Amino acid sequence: MYKEIKQIKNIIDVLLLKDEFLYLLSVFYFLLFSWPFVAIENMEYPVAIVVYLFFTWFSCIVILFYISRLRKKFKKN
């Protein structure tokens, strides 16, 4: 079981290191950030939109931080 989990983690790490993944990630987050402004009828709950944008921004920062740590780790090897 541990061996399979380690294999999956290695596959995900290799995927995250590809430049194409960053392009897809930027398109994905562009859609996530622009969605609340396109859906005008959801403006009735401004607190929910602020919370949504905060967690979307936070997840983007966490993913980019993890990718930068991976790149540093593989650059040293």
Q: What is the pLDDT of residues 58-70, one digit of tens each?
A: 999 999 999 888 8
Tokens of 7: 């294999």
Q: What is the mean pLDDT of residues 32-54?
A: 80
Q: How far is CA 43 from CA 32, 46, 75, in A?
A: 16, 6, 45
pLDDT in tens, 11-41: 888 888 888 888 999 999 999 988 877 776 6
Give the residue among 27, 9, 6 at the shortest CA–CA distance from 66.
9
- Residue 44: the pLDDT is 77
